[in-house]
Amino acid sequence: MAEKKQEPSFTVTDRRLFTSEGELRTDLTDQTEKPKPAPQAVAPKETEANHASPAAAADKLSSTESPSAVLDRDLPVPPTAAEQEAQANAYQQSSKDLDSRVELSGQSAKDFEMTFERFMASLYMTGMMQLGLMHEQGAQPHVDIIGARQTIDTLSLIAEKTKGNLSAAEQNFLQNSLYELRMAYVEVTHALSRPPAAPATGTMGR
């Protein structure tokens, strides 16, 4: 007679919460594990700073960094000496090629060279136009008193920064330009601040 093959035994666990009578089972708590509480995520201290508003970040930056430090940090890395030399050589070569084409057209390339006197003359003419004392042909004079003051201040800055580095002719040209622009500026500002003249009144025929 063949032996009965033993089948693997298994256990059935009743996990119902209530009995057939409707009562709460008390043995279920022993069979089931209480769920472990999820660990609370602890926010790092810098999280608040990372999500701070741009305005708050700007206030913090302004209170801890000087304007010069911010400017130095934002400036791009300057080119190396080798890169500057290579670029200068390429610029000089391009300028020579342009000068050759200018000479072939019948003009002198020296007429387009930038000198210190020409640079000062361009600023002087700009200042005079901003004061309304000069204007382009066919255009109406236009007064830009703020722009004129900035142009005069630019010339003053150049005079201060180039002190001791100019020839006698360059120094004389710069000082004359500054003198004339300052004098014209004073006259124009006085004219603008002067109240308009009252219309003349009188009796006709007397």
pLDDT band at 197 (very low <50, low <70, confident <90, very high): low
CB atoms within 10 A of CB 44: 9
Highest mean pLDDT among 7-21, 28-42, 43-57, 139-153: 139-153
Compute the chain's Rg from CA coordinates.
43
pLDDT, tens digit, 9 for 90 and up, residues 47-90:
444 444 455 545 554 455 666 665 566 778 889 999 999 999 99
Across-strand partners of 131?
143
Rounded Cα distance between 140 and 185, Å, is: 19
